[in-house]
Chain A
Amino acid sequence: MKAFKYLSPKSVEEAIAFHGRHSETSRFIGGGTDVIVKLKEGWMEPDFLISLKKIKEMGELSKNNATGELSIGAMVTHATLEKSIMIQKEYPIIYDAVSNIGSLQVRNVGTIGGNLINAVPSADGAIPLIALDGVALLHGPDGERSASVKDLFIKPYKTILKPGEILKKITIPPQEPYTGSAYIKFGRRAAMELPLVGIGVLLTLDHARKICKKARICLGVAAPVPMRAFDAEKFLAGKEINEETLVKAGRIAADESKVRDSVRGKAWHRKEMIRVQVKRMGQKCLELIRNNN
């Protein structure tokens, strides 16, 4: 690994200022489980590494009980989310996704913000946050701005972040009653494996728990960046959720996915898994809604 100077600013402003002084030769580092691999391989050769670990506000996970808004600092580790009882109970789709990222050793260090910024097509962390209508708060030399998590990604490994800009936190708007959500990472090995496809479904039903008020169907590795299956969502909205409608939604989602062949799997296999898993995750949502409300 090439030598570098390690800087650990205590605030976002300080981090951005450090970057401003050495913009060409510095890189931000979060947990480091991806960045250190890139440094070792020589894919990244900064003179300055600006760590975000000492910025307290970026490591905070909290829910505003008055507004119902959830705030996840970008430096919150996957393990912190996985172990949070609040996340397990109220945001099962986040738990489903983060509890199978990397390995425990990676989850203890790796962060949700890093997972998003890395922008791999398979980013397990992105799917639940998109399904939950998450909003990313960015802070850069020109101040703050926000974007929906879905719009963070331009293409594989490329986000909308400008040089010197930091993903500070993700906020999740309050969830409506009668909402259930679930994610499955479909792959071969449990650990250190990228999913063949990742499927996240969120359903909000009416008070009678029959008619779908809102549906989110989000897919990973189904396109160059995480995608929403809008056609399938539209199909479900306003309909009664049952085996028949979920089967149909799975078929629509599979059809609108832009899966392709890769070393990890064939397009037809991915499509088939989307078809089946959209239905299963929908059924899991129903179960959660019935058990929790």
Chain B
Amino acid sequence: MATNISFILNGDEISYEVKDHWTLLHLLREKMGLIGTKEGCGNGECGACTVIVDKLAINSCLYLAVEADGKTIETIEGLASSDGTLHPVQQSFVDNGGIQCGFCSPGMIMSSKALLDENPGADYEQIKHALAGNICRCTGYVQILESVEAARDMGGQK
């Protein structure tokens, strides 16, 4: 009931023996200590656990760790540079009031990053469409959308 998997996590090659029934979220948070990725609903409704797998935003609470084998995974921990310089999307959320309590922020930022990596010129409607699966309970949606637009305007990819 355990499987050895190898994957690339935030640029590092990782090998890990995972239990088949672990979710990717469980592996990241409980086993690897990467608690930047949040667990909200645990059912794919809220998007707080969003990470990027092979360039696609996914809910890590609905993704089995064993299926990460051979994949390239990005989490919020991998965004800032090693000297602490924030990724443009992170900086934009800070500068534009896109963060209130912060619980949804890692998921919002990962969804935004996946979008801007794929479509650097995403318009307002496309941003809304891409972020529709991320819930913010501080109701800061306007600032969040403005943050993503600002990140786009300054060339939001790394």
State how many angstroms separate the Cβ of A207 from the closest Cβ of chain B: 36
Q: Which of B45, B63, B134 contacts A32 (CB 8 A)?
A: B63
C-alpha gap A79/B119 in the complex (Å): 14
Q: Given A4-B1, A40-B43, A53-B67, verify A104-B20 contact (CB < 8 Å).
A: no
Q: Given A6-B3, A36-B23, verify A190-B56 contact (CB < 8 Å).
A: no
Q: Given A103-B132, A105-B50, verify A3-B20 contact (CB < 8 Å).
A: yes
A245 on interface, CB distance cutoff 8 Å: no
Residue contact A104 to B21, C-beta cutoff 8 Å: no
Q: Which of B20, B56, B62, B63 contacts A4 (CB 8 A)?
A: B20
A192 on interface, CB distance cutoff 8 Å: yes
A21 on interface, CB distance cutoff 8 Å: no
B130 on interface, CB distance cutoff 8 Å: yes
B133 on interface, CB distance cutoff 8 Å: yes
Size bin of chain B's contact surface? 20 to 34
List residues of chain B with CB within 8 A of the CB of A99: 129
State how many angstroms separate the Cβ of A88 from the closest Cβ of chain B: 14
Residue of A nearest to B3 (CB): A6
Contact code string B33-76 (vs A, CB < 8 Å = 1, else 0): 00000000011110100100000111101111011000000000
Residue contact B21 to A105, C-beta cutoff 8 Å: no
B137 on interface, CB distance cutoff 8 Å: no
Residue contact B57 to A104, C-beta cutoff 8 Å: yes
Residue contact A6 to B43, C-beta cutoff 8 Å: no
State how many angstroms separate the Cβ of A107 from the closest Cβ of chain B: 9
Residue contact A105 to B44, C-beta cutoff 8 Å: yes
List residues of chain A with CB within 8 A of the CB of B90: none
List residues of chain A with CB within 8 A of the CB of B67: 32, 51, 53
A-facing residues in B116-133 (Cβ within 8 Å)? 128-130, 132-133
A5 on interface, CB distance cutoff 8 Å: yes
List residues of chain A with CB within 8 A of the CB of B20: 3-6, 49
Q: Given A37-B43, A40-B43, A109-B63, verify A102-B1 contact (CB < 8 Å).
A: no
A160 on interface, CB distance cutoff 8 Å: no
C-alpha gap A1/B63 in the complex (Å): 13
Of B1, B42, B67, B130, most buried by chain A (CB within 10 Å of CB) is B67
A108 on interface, CB distance cutoff 8 Å: yes
B19 on interface, CB distance cutoff 8 Å: yes
C-alpha gap A33/B42 in the complex (Å): 11
List residues of chain A with CB within 8 A of the CB of B132: 103-104, 190-192
Residue contact B21 to A79, C-beta cutoff 8 Å: no
List residues of chain B with CB within 8 A of the CB of A211: none
List residues of chain A with CB within 8 A of the CB of B92: none
State how many angstroms separate the Cβ of B12 from the closest Cβ of chain A: 23
B111 on interface, CB distance cutoff 8 Å: yes
C-alpha gap A152/B21 in the complex (Å): 30
Of A104, A105, A190, most buried by chain B (CB within 10 Å of CB) is A105
Q: Which of A49, A102, A105 contacts B57 (CB 8 A)?
A: A105
State how many angstroms separate the Cβ of B95 from the closest Cβ of chain A: 25
Residue of A nearest to B59 (CB): A105
Q: Which of B21, B66, B128, B134 contacts A1 (CB 8 A)?
A: B21
C-alpha gap A192/B61 in the complex (Å): 15
Given contacts A36-B63, A106-B59, 18 further A-B contacts (CB under 8 A): A3-B19, A4-B20, A4-B21, A6-B20, A32-B67, A33-B44, A33-B59, A36-B23, A39-B21, A40-B42, A53-B67, A102-B133, A103-B44, A103-B133, A104-B132, A105-B50, A109-B59, A190-B132
Interface of A toward B, CB cutoff 8 Å: 1-6, 32-33, 36-37, 39-40, 49, 51, 53, 79, 99, 102-106, 108-109, 190-192
Interface of B toward A, CB cutoff 8 Å: 1, 3, 19-21, 23, 42-45, 47, 50, 56-59, 61-64, 66-67, 111, 128-130, 132-134
Subset of 5 A-B contacts with CB under 8 Å: A37-B62, A104-B133, A105-B58, A105-B111, A191-B132
